[in-house]
Amino acid sequence: MTVLFLVFAILSACFSYNLFYPVYKHPKGVLISFLSGWLVGELVWHHLIIQVAITLLFVAGGVVEGFWGSLGLLILLVSWWGMTMYHLQAAVAEQEVEDSLIKSLGADYRQTFRDGIHNHADKKPSRRELARPFASLRSTNVELIKNITYEQVDGFNLKLDIRRAKRSVENAPVLFQIHGGAWTYKMGSKNEQGIPLMNRLAEMGWVCVAIDYRLSPKATFPDHIIDCKKALVWVKKHIAEYGGNPDFILVTGGSAGGHLSSLLSLTENFAAFQPGFEDEDTRINGCVPFYGIYDFLDEQGLQYHKGLEDILEKSILKSSKQANPELYRQASPINHIHKKAPPFMVIQGNKDTLVSTDETRYFVEQLKQVSENPVVYSEITGAQHAFDVFPSVRSEHVLNGVVRFAEWLYSDYINKQTKT
């Protein structure tokens, strides 16, 4: 039993070590590193409580004794100290996001906010939300309208959900959420991603739309982006019926959704992605991609491992980049950057093992050089992939920053409408 206790202590130490030094290079190791870093990193106190309880059971059983027992206890104490330091580090996200907004939008960017917005844009995470993060994904102030069909393709109904305040809204700004999950069936859906952001904005009076799209391996690119464009067209035509303003749409998404939201934003009215509806207007007002993929061809050699290349070749594009480099370029947001690109707020964690932070930085640099509109880049210390899926100290600080960007963008839109 003492050996079992030692193994338990070493496992805890591995969890703690991975928070600060995740695996970046090994295609399979990165998945384990991601899952561990995500669930431990954003649920540190939950893990600490469980580990302390297990340790007390070992102590009560009389197995924490002798050299090996003492060594195990020492390892646990060091591990717990590391987890605690990581948790405290999450607080720096508040200043990191604010600094990035000021750098790109100016120190006075908040002055145009609507009345009452500051309370939503600087909200502190409650103890209840942090203690029960998954229970907090529902809001009693938000109405959820599920599974509205926006398109039928190959006998399959593509659907979307709408979230809005239970109070009456009219001509409200619209958030358009595209889920991630490696563009792959059963890896992600509209039902569990982007919820904290959608709930917060819906409570503020926004109308939020979360969409389905065809998924691989059955779907082959550009099916995914075509469906996103069709959903956007539906929103422009019908969202007024639900209280939204079709002339103001902010697009967001994480991971594969970060890729698709960026691609959607940079390819307005791009005929190859709008077959049969080339004349429809697919312009949007802004984009907030979370930990997206921006260069499928990896022309700068910035990706950490071959995992992305393998899934693109086998399941998503179904062609190698050597055989069809132009297809890879066409699918990459970085190759569609232009001077009229909408304002961007790019979110990336510096401990992300699935998406290259170096690639994200390069994308942002290229976007800033070409675009005439603001580009905000928020690189979050300690953040792993998917860190924003449920409430945590880190994710709530970032969410506040995204809310501030969204409100700045909407205020800018209102001011321009007033002048005209």
Distance between CA atoms of residues 350 and 362, nearest Å? 14
Residue 294 has pLDDT above 80, yes or no: yes
How does the average pLDDT of the chain come out, rounded? Answer: 94
Contact between 212 and 183 under an 8 Å Cβ cutoff? The reply is no
Tell me which of 58-62, 145-149, 290-294, 312-316 is least confident: 58-62
Could you give the dihedral angle defined by the CA atoms of residues 172, 173, 174 and 175, in that order, rounded to the nearest 10 degrees?
A: -130
Helix (H, G, I), strand (E, B) or coil at 142: strand
Average pLDDT, integer, range 80-94: 96
Residues 155 and 76 in one domain: no
Residue 233 has pLDDT above 80, yes or no: yes
Among 57, 89, 121, where does a domain finish?
A: 89
Residues 74 and 99 in one domain: no
Distance between CA atoms of residues 63 and 6, nearest Å? 10
Residues 186 and 58 in one domain: no
Angle in degrees, CA 298, 348, 329, rounded to 5: 25
Distances (CA, A) of 72 to 69, 97, 229, 413: 5, 39, 55, 59
57 burial (CB, 10 Å; 0-12 / 13-18 / 19+) is: exposed
Contact between 45 and 132 under an 8 Å Cβ cutoff? The reply is no
Tell me which of 40-49, 58-67, 350-359 is least confident: 58-67
Residues 27 and 111 in one domain: no
Q: What range defines the domain where residue 78 resides?
A: 2-89
Encode pLDDT of 258-286 as tens digits: 999 999 999 999 999 999 999 999 999 99
Residues 72 and 206 in one domain: no
Portion of the chain with pLDDT greater than 90, in percent: 85
Identify which has the larger pLDDT, 413 or 1: 413
* Cβ neighbours, 10 Å, residue 52: 12
> Which residues, including other chains, have CB under 8 Å from residue 295's CB and lie 6 or more apart?
302, 303, 332, 333, 334, 335, 359, 362, 363
Residues 33 and 177 in one domain: no
Residue 368's domain is classified under what CATH number?
3.40.50.1820
Q: Which pTM does this prediction carry? A: 0.95
**pLDDT interval class at 172 (50, 70, 90):** very high
Inter-residue long-range contacts of 103-106, CB under 8 Å, 24+ positions, other chains counted = 103/376, 104/374, 104/375, 104/376, 104/377, 105/374, 105/376, 105/405, 105/408
Which positions are annotated as active-site residues?
Answer: 255, 352, 385
The pLDDT, as a whole number, for residue 420 is 64
Residues 140 and 216 in one domain: yes
Distance between CA atoms of residues 109 and 201, nearest Å? 19
Average pLDDT, integer, range 400-414: 95
Average pLDDT, integer, range 157-181: 96
The pLDDT, as a whole number, for residue 118 is 66
Tell me which of 66-75, 77-86, 379-388 is least confident: 66-75
Residues 23 and 53 in one domain: yes
Residues 26 and 115 in one domain: no
Q: Structural domain tally of the chain? A: 2
Residues 151 and 43 in one domain: no
The pLDDT, as a whole number, for residue 406 is 97
Residues 72 and 167 in one domain: no
Tokens of 2: 């003492």
Among 89, 122, 144, where does a domain finish?
A: 89
Among 89, 107, 124, where does a domain finish?
A: 89
Distance between CA atoms of residues 239 and 145, nearest Å? 12
Encode pLDDT of 103-141 as tens digits: 999 999 998 887 767 677 788 877 888 888 887 788 889
The pLDDT, as a whole number, for residue 219 is 96
The pLDDT, as a whole number, for residue 39 is 94
Nearest Cα to Cα of residue 289 among 337, 357, 212, 344: 344
Average pLDDT, integer, range 376-394: 96
H/E segment holding residue 100: helix 92-105
Distance between CA atoms of residues 107 and 94, nearest Å? 15
Residues 139 and 96 in one domain: yes
Contact between 209 and 201 under an 8 Å Cβ cutoff? The reply is no
Tokens of 197: 């952001």
